[in-house]
């Protein structure tokens, strides 16, 4: 852990990574606590009816061991991919632990993904098994003939045609397990990230990913060193934010985690959950806070820490956090490929208006020009992270060309523009690409465009993000219809539903504009700046 008795400068200058040769996430977040404090609370699962089930670290150890033995019986071993298509459930958490214990590779998938999004990710990763629920099983069933490498589908909530009952099979297994001796550099996780062109890329991470996250998580939560610490985030565990900015680091520190899936996130329910379960540590995407501002609690809800990332915070949200929870929100920065590398930390230094914060100890951040060389302080450039770094991804799964393009002159390029001042504070200026940031999600326009081109009435399409007071940005699609087809309000609704069903509910275009032609380069690329200009004219 970081020593918060020191000042930031000493923490940063004295920090040295201690990455062991052999390391296993599953043992770290579960078994070490089960051996020393077996009854210590690990998970509080809040059900739809408001009741809650509690799981100790020993419970998680036994459940994950049974799940690991079950996966072994189905042929899963070191390096095999197992997809998890679930939201915040106990099965999600201990399935991850089980997969890591086997030395296999977890592939988390967002429960709102549609058939097209699932088909691509499952085929690209070569997942042999999917663990899901009835809702997910129905989606998988509709594309099962496309998934040539998928061997088994486990379902956690009952029976479904051509699926294996997860709970029944798990209960047949022993609660003991011989842990796979994994190296820190062994692959453990593939999380798909969206880009501006082409299909999503699978960021492959090593077992060391958790160790790499710890300084940033500790910094953004003022040390994680209170006896009453209890963590919760509305961010889904399918994304790196919910999973490795929250669940796994909390369990590394032996901190209980509250899990709950909101049918639809709303302020009143969130305030009630925080109060009822005495939540003290929160990771809030900015969009969640914007929604919660609409329903202030009746009194102060004191917490130990709030961290936020994904979008820049403004002074109004900072002030709201202080008034509502009695703490200064610590903002952090990173991305799926290299996360939690910059952070603010009220306990160590005063935040600077407009800045994300300072480099987290252990991470070397530079602002570089397009040739990979550092620019002068105060000059705009690319936010870059010195390689190698324990939190940095190994590669893009099966995509060496994209992997090579991510690095320049010994640095990982985040694709974001920023400025570093004379005091080393880093300001995020904007994205160097066209990824849309909406409700804390990074959305690639290319994937949405590919989906929309599958609609029978659409000839061509260009997608951008447009300003949105609640979501930061909303998805807007400029659509060219096929000859002879006239746009109607019913058609717009049909197109939006098409994307929701085929891709994901968080990626559908909230705004649609029909145009005769799209602005294109001579090589056939959409000129998105021209689309933004068209939107501004409207």
> Would you call the peptide bond into 388 cis, given omega within 30 degrees of 0 as the criterion?
yes
Question: Is pLDDT at 232 greater than 90 in this prediction?
Answer: yes
| pTM summary value | 0.88
Q: Would you state the pLDDT for residue 317?
A: 83
The secondary structure of 473-519 as a DSSP string is: EEEEEEEEEPTT----HHHHHHHHHHHHHHTBTTSS-SEEEE-S---
The secondary structure of 122-154 as a DSSP string is: HHHHT-SEEEE-HHHHHHHHHHGGG-TT--EEE
Confidence of residue 536 (pLDDT cuts 50, 70, 90): confident
Name the residue among 203, 201, 200 with its Cα closest to residue 190: 203
Q: What is the pLDDT of residues 91-121, one digit of tens each?
A: 999 999 999 999 999 999 999 999 999 999 9
Contact criterion met (CB below 8 Å) for 470 and 286: no
Confidence of residue 521 (pLDDT cuts 50, 70, 90): low
Q: Which domains does the chain have, with CATH numbers?
A: 22-207 (3.40.50.12780), 436-537 (3.30.300.30)
How far apart (Å, rounded) are the C-alpha atoms in residues 431 and 418? Answer: 9
Q: What is the pLDDT of residues 276-322, one digit of tens each?
A: 999 999 999 887 887 887 777 778 899 999 999 877 777 778 888 99
Q: What is the pLDDT of residues 243-253, one digit of tens each?
A: 999 999 999 99
| Interval 467-488 mean pLDDT | 93
Confidence of residue 198 (pLDDT cuts 50, 70, 90): low
SS3 of 414, please? strand
**Dihedral angle sign, alpha carbons of residues 257, 259, 264, 266:** negative
Out of 44-53, 310-319, 497-506, which region has the weakest mean confidence (pLDDT)? 310-319
Written in H, E and C, the secondary structure of 24-89 is: CHHHHHHHHHHHHCCCCEEEEEECCCCCEEEEEHHHHHHHHHHHHHHHHHCCCCCCCEEEEECCCC
How far apart (Å, rounded) are the C-alpha atoms in residues 275 and 269? Answer: 10
Q: What is the pLDDT of residues 154-187, one digit of tens each?
A: 999 999 999 999 999 999 999 999 999 999 999 9
């Amino acid at each position: 852990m970081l020593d918060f008795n020191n000042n930031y400068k000493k923490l940063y200058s004295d920090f040295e990574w201690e990455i062991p040769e052999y390391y296993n996430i599953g043992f770290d977040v579960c078994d070490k606590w089960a051996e020393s404090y077996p009854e210590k609370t690990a998970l509080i699962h809040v059900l739809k009816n408001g009741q809650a089930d509690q799981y100790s670290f020993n419970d998680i150890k036994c459940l994950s061991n049974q799940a690991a033995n079950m996966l072994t019986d189905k042929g899963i071993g070191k390096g095999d991919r197992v997809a998890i298509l679930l939201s915040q459930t106990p099965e999600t958490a201990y399935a991850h632990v089980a997969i890591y214990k086997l030395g296999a590779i977890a592939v988390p998938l967002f429960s709102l993904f549609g058939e097209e999004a699932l088909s691509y990710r499952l085929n690209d990763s070569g997942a042999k098994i999917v663990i899901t629920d009835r809702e997910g099983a129905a989606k998988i069933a509709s594309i099962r003939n496309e998934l040539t490498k998928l061997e088994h589908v486990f379902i956690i909530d009952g029976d479904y045609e051509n699926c294996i009952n997860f709970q029944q099979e798990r209960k047949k297994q022993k609660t003991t397990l011989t842990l796979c001796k994994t190296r820190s550099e062994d692959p453990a996780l593939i999380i798909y990230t969206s880009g501006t062109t082409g299909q999503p890329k699978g960021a492959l991470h090593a077992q060391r990913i958790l160790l790499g996250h710890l300084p940033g998580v500790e910094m953004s939560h003022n040390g994680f060193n209170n006896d009453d610490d209890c963590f919760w985030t509305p961010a889904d565990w399918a994304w790196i934010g919910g999973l490795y900015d929250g669940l796994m680091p909390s369990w590394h520190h032996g901190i209980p985690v509250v899990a709950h899936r909101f049918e639809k996130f709303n302020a009143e329910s969130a305030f009630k959950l925080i109060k009822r379960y005495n939540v003290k540590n929160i990771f809030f995407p900015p969009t969640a806070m914007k929604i919660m501002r609409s329903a202030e609690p009746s009194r102060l809800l004191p917490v130990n820490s709030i961290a936020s990332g994904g979008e820049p915070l403004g002074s109004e949200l900072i002030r709201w956090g202080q008034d509502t929870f009695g703490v200064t929100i610590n903002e952090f920065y990173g991305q799926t490929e290299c996360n939690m590398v910059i952070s603010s930390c009220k306990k160590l230094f005063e935040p600077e208006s407009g800045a994300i914060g300072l480099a987290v100890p252990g991470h070397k951040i530079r602002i570089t020009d397009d040739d990979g060389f550092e620019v002068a302080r105060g000059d705009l450039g690319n936010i870059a992270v010195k390689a190698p770094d324990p939190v940095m991804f190994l590669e893009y799964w099966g995509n060496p060309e994209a992997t090579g393009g991510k690095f320049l002159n010994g640095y990982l390029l985040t694709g974001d523009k920023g400025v570093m001042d004379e005091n080393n504070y880093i300001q995020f200026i904007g994205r160097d690409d066209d990824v849309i940031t909406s409700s804390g999600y990074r959305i690639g326009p290319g994937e949405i465009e590919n989906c929309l081109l599958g609609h029978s009435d659409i000839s061509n399409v260009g997608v951008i993000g447009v300003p949105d007071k609640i979501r930061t940005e909303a998805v807007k699609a400029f659509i060219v219809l096929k000859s002879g087809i006239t746009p109607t309000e019913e058609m717009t609704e049909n197109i939006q539903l098409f994307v929701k069903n085929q891709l994901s509910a968080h990626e559908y275009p909230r705004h649609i504009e029909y145009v005769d032609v799209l602005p294109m380069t001579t090589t056939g690329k959409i000129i998105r700046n021209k689309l933004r200009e068209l939107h501004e004219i409207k």
